[in-house]
Chains A and B, each alone.
Chain A
Amino acid sequence: MLGYAIVIGLLCWLVSSAFPMWLRWSFYFGAPLVSGLIMGLLFGNISYGLEVGATIQMAYIGLLAIGGSLPNEMAIAGYLGVAMTMIAGLDASTGLAVATPLGLLGVLAQNAKMSLNPIWVHKADRYAAEGNIKGIKVMNLFASQIFPFLTYFIPAFLCVYFGGAYFESFMNAVPVQLLNILKLIGKMMPALGLAMLMQALNKKSTLPFLILGFVAAAYLGMDITSIALVGAALAILHYFYMKKGQEE
């Protein structure tokens, strides 16, 4: 369990704070999905990992981080959540009920880091006034990692190292009634992410596209790639008609 705990702890820290930004995006926003593959490889059961990861990811697909805050910490919910679900050998649909509370706790880790990091910014202020460029770089690249390491690595490590064994027996003792509730929460939660997305996108003029997408999936059973392609074609038409309308 020590090896797993170290790898999972490191992942939570790297993905939340230390990866270069362009890489962090996919590892963070797609945390459960990507984690599904990584944990699948780690625990030697890829198909189980993929199923757990993809199922949890559905709930988070629409979540947006605007101005740096999310209602759930994706690194913890994704990497720790998928790992704990797999350690306990739970059904994929129960996974979200494990990941969400962990992600809520993870918000604490994020807030602690965000509140403590100004210490290094103030140090960097001093270096700036002295013209010390190296000092600024050290603050940004290395000092900035002290608190995230403490607030992400350590809780995730402890959770896997000490909690893993108990977690499994704990979840086995949970009554079926409660598991059903957890599964239903998992099925209902995607509505929140999608509704948040709708808030960000909604315009009267693009509302018909929502209906088209729904019909394509619910009645015609098309997959996302083909629906996105049809959507792209319609959007190009929409663009031309809009331009035509403006010209007239």
Chain B
Amino acid sequence: MSEKKLLTKKDLTKTWFTWICWGQICYNWERLMGLGFCHTMTTAIEKLYGDDEELKKEALVRHMAYYNTENTWGAMIPGIVCSLEESRANGENIDTETISNLKTALMGPLAGIGDTVTQSLVKVILLGIGIDMAIQGNAFGPILFVLAFSAYAISVSYICFFNGYRFGKSSVVQLLSGGLVKSVTESLGAVGMIVLGALVAKNIGISTPLVFNFGQMTVTIQTLLDSIMPKLLPMALFIIVYQLLKKGKKPTTVMIIIMAAAVLLSLLGILA
């Protein structure tokens, strides 16, 4: 009986750090993060299969497969894979197909959660704060954004990676299927929506310069609109654009529509 081959805390930390630094550096249309994932696994593979050239080659080839997820929440997957490879190297009955299937099965859902939380929530709120400060001439705005977003990426990926390693696949499946993630995601979505509503009022700066003269009376249309509801035009534009997207128009198409509309409305003097 040979002694057990275990991954040390140092091995795992190195693996996590490789992932959060270089998991996506060779991003490409063919295998997306495939090469990055293989690179991430090299520390564990060397440790677990280093004395058996054939097993080592097999493991390296296995982890070159197509792979794409979100970097922070998706860090859970290399964590789980490390724990599975470790069990496998120590003779437990885990076949390579299970490992590959698990990677493929989890990368989608974790990308879903990760993209939503990271890009539509954390990024938007931090950017909103950063822009607010920068517009007032405060140079700390961009700095705060970089520091806070980096801290988020590092800490969340660290927590996800080590939890993935610790609990193995069963708990993840449990976590993902349970109602917990759903209600947490929805609550986070609620914060996202409130910030979104605020950004519609703050970031869409359109108004109308239209002025009508009826004899001696001058009517400024913008004042009239403001008395109905402040930021009425930004909200209206937002709803129109949202409806276009909802009808399946591509973002690039909508961008072109907006440009064309801007030309027309500016020349006619309706919007500014």
Contacts and interface: CB of A to CB of B under 8 A. Distances in A.
Given A50-B137, A213-B193, A67 B68 contact: yes
Interface in B231-263: 231, 234-235, 237-238, 240-242, 244-246, 251-252, 254-255, 258-259, 261-263
A124 to B, nearest CB: 5
Contact of A203 (B38, B186, B204, B246): B186
Contacts of B39: 136-137, 140-141
Given A21-B71, A133-B42, A211 B145 contact: no
B149 A26 contact: yes
> Looking at A21, A61, A215, A242, which has the most chain B CB atoms within 10 Å of its CB?
A21
A9 interface: no
Contact of A20 (B20, B27, B202): B20
B193 A207 contact: yes
B197 A140 contact: no
A230 B193 CA distance: 12
Given A36-B142, A189-B255, A129 B193 contact: no
A150 to B, nearest CB: 15
B25 A141 contact: yes
Contact of B237 (A51, A136, A191): A191
A114 B120 contact: no
A27 B53 CA distance: 41
Contacts of B4: none
B129 interface: yes
B27 A68 contact: yes
Contact of B245 (A117, A125, A195): A195
Interface string A61-79: 1101111100100000000
Given A213-B195, A238-B186, A62 B124 contact: yes
Given A50-B137, A184-B271, A188-B262, A234 B183 contact: no
A230 B238 contact: no
A175 B73 CA distance: 49
B235 A214 contact: yes
Nearest to A20: B21
A36 to B, nearest CB: 6
Given A140-B22, A224-B202, A26 B186 contact: no
Contacts of A184: 206, 262, 265-266, 271-272
A54 interface: yes
B195 A30 contact: no
Nearest to B125: A228
B30 interface: yes
Given A128-B64, A136-B60, A201-B196, A114 B27 contact: yes
A201 B272 contact: no
B25 to A, nearest CB: 5
A215 B246 CA distance: 24
Interface in A168-192: 177, 180-181, 183-185, 187-192
A35 to B, nearest CB: 8
B22 A64 contact: no
Contacts of A81: none
A105 interface: no
A136 B42 contact: yes
Counting chain A residues whose Cβ lies within 8 A of the other chain, the interface size class is 35 or more
Contacts of B27: 17, 68, 113-114, 117
B223 interface: no
Interface string A38-68: 0010000011001101110111011011111
B131 interface: yes
B245 A128 contact: no
A208 B138 CA distance: 32
B89 interface: no
B26 A209 contact: no
Given A121-B64, A181-B266, A58 B203 contact: yes
B205 to A, nearest CB: 4
Contacts of B150: 22-23, 25-26
What 4 A-B pairs come out closest when comparing CB atoms? A213-B197, A117-B28, A144-B26, A231-B194
Given A113-B28, A137-B39, A194-B199, 18 more contacts: A20-B21, A21-B21, A21-B71, A51-B135, A54-B141, A55-B135, A62-B120, A93-B205, A117-B30, A129-B61, A133-B42, A136-B38, A140-B35, A181-B267, A201-B189, A213-B196, A213-B198, A217-B198
Interface of B: 20-32, 34-36, 38-39, 42, 45-46, 53, 56-57, 60-61, 64, 68, 71, 111, 115-116, 118-120, 123-132, 134-135, 137-139, 141-143, 145-146, 149-150, 153-154, 157, 179, 183-184, 186-206, 229-231, 234-235, 237-238, 240-242, 244-246, 251-252, 254-255, 258-259, 261-263, 265-267, 271-272
